[in-house]
Every structure is written in structure tokens, then in C-alpha cells.
Structure 1
Amino acid sequence: MKTSIVKITEYCSYCQADLDFVNSLEEIGLIETSVIDGERFIHEDQLRDLDRYANWHYEMEINIEGIDALRNAVTKIQHLQSEILYLKEKLRMYEP
């Protein structure tokens, strides 16, 4: 299985994102980058998250700390939704 990577500078240029913004996301652990031949890259599987964080930052004017808090809240909500679905399935076993 081949994993695609995207150069951070190309991402920033294409999406009109600031390189400092991406650096800040990496510093607090929201994304991970790899350095290959002196260039920084992000794995394709993290692009969705990076796009989401960029949207929150640039469209909704949420700062880096707010993005981290919002990501934690969204993760908890998704976990709770999964748990609700699981419990609904278990309850169906007891319905006549």
C-alpha cells in the first residue's frame, strides 16, 4: 500500500494557508509532518484534518488553542455517538 505525501509549502500555496499556522498545529501535536531531503511533508491521510483546522482558523477565526479544544470536543462527540449506536443495537436484542 503506497502512502501519498504532500509538500507543506505546496499545500500552503494552494490553500492560501500560512506556514506558521501549519507549524503551530504541528507544535501542539494536531498534525505530524515528515522531513525528506530537507523538505517538510504531510501524509495524505492527515489532509482532511488539516483542511478542517484551516477552515476553523481562517473561516471561523478560531485560534490554535481553540482548534485543539474543538478537536477534542468533536472527538468526544463522535465517540459518544458510536456508543449510542452500540447501545441501541444491544437494546434491540431485548425488544419483542
Structure 2
Amino acid sequence: MNERISIEEIIRLYKIDYSFLNQLIDSELLHPETENSIQYIIYEELPHLERFANWHYDLDVNLPGIEIIHQLLNQLEELKNENRRLLHNMPKFENWEDAEF
């Protein structure tokens, strides 16, 4: 079982609006678990929640903006991983003139 924290506790600790948290859940940026009619967020998602809350409250970014920024950062991470994979699999040449293209 993953470690988790209840939505009520998140609202109290992070001092965020319930409606904002619900918007994040409705847009599938957060994925709560429900047990005995209590919703929980797993600890692994807390860094995302903190980032979204910072963007929203500190930078005044609305939900569509948060969704776009999140998607672009995910794409950037995927491109970095693909670049690392390609560089790792690329043959090593002593001299680029020896390479066959």
C-alpha cells in the first residue's frame, strides 16, 4: 500500500482551496484514491501538487495554464530521456571522418 494523505489534511497543511484541489483532480492532474468515502493523495504526487499550487497561488497561473505547463514539462523530460538513450547507443568514433552516414 502506498503512503498517502487525506484531502482534508492536504487542505489544512498546504492552505489551498478545496475547489482548486477538485479542479486538479477533475483535470486528472492528480489521481486520488478513495477508501471509506475519504479521498487520499499518494505521497508520490505531492511534489506535483506543490508545483501546481505554487504556479497557481504565487504566479497566478489558471488551470488551463497549469495543464499546458505540466504537459510541456513532461514532453521536455521525455525528449531529454530519448536524447540520453540515443547518445548512449551512439557508436563512439575517434574521428568524425571515420563515421559512415
Relative to the length of structure 2, the TM-score reads 0.85
Runs of 4+ in 1 over 6 A off after TM superposition: none
| Cα distance in structure 1, aligned partners of 2:83 and 2:59 | 29
Shift of residue 35, structure 1, vs aligned partner: 2.1
CA distance in 2, matches of 1:13, 1:85: 41
Where does the alignment leave 5 or more consecutive residues of structure 2 unmatched? 95-101
Q: Which moved more, 1:69-78 or 1:33-42?
A: 33-42
Number of matched pairs: 94
1:82 aligns with 2:81: yes
CA distance in structure 2 between the aligned counterparts of 1:89 and 1:40, rounded to whole angstroms: 42
1:94 to 92, 95, 100: 92
Q: Secondary structure at the match of 1:32?
A: coil
Structure showing greater radius of gyration is 2
1:45-90 deviation per Cα after TM superposition (whole angstroms, max 9, x unaligned): 1111111111111111111111111111000100111111122222
Aligned partner of 2:13 in structure 1 is 14
Alpha-carbon shift at residue 6 of structure 1 (Å): 0.2
Q: CA deviation at 1:29?
A: 0.8
Percentage of identical aligned residues: 23
Aligned-residue CA RMSD in angstroms? 1.2
Structure 2: distance between partners of 1:52 and 1:45: 13
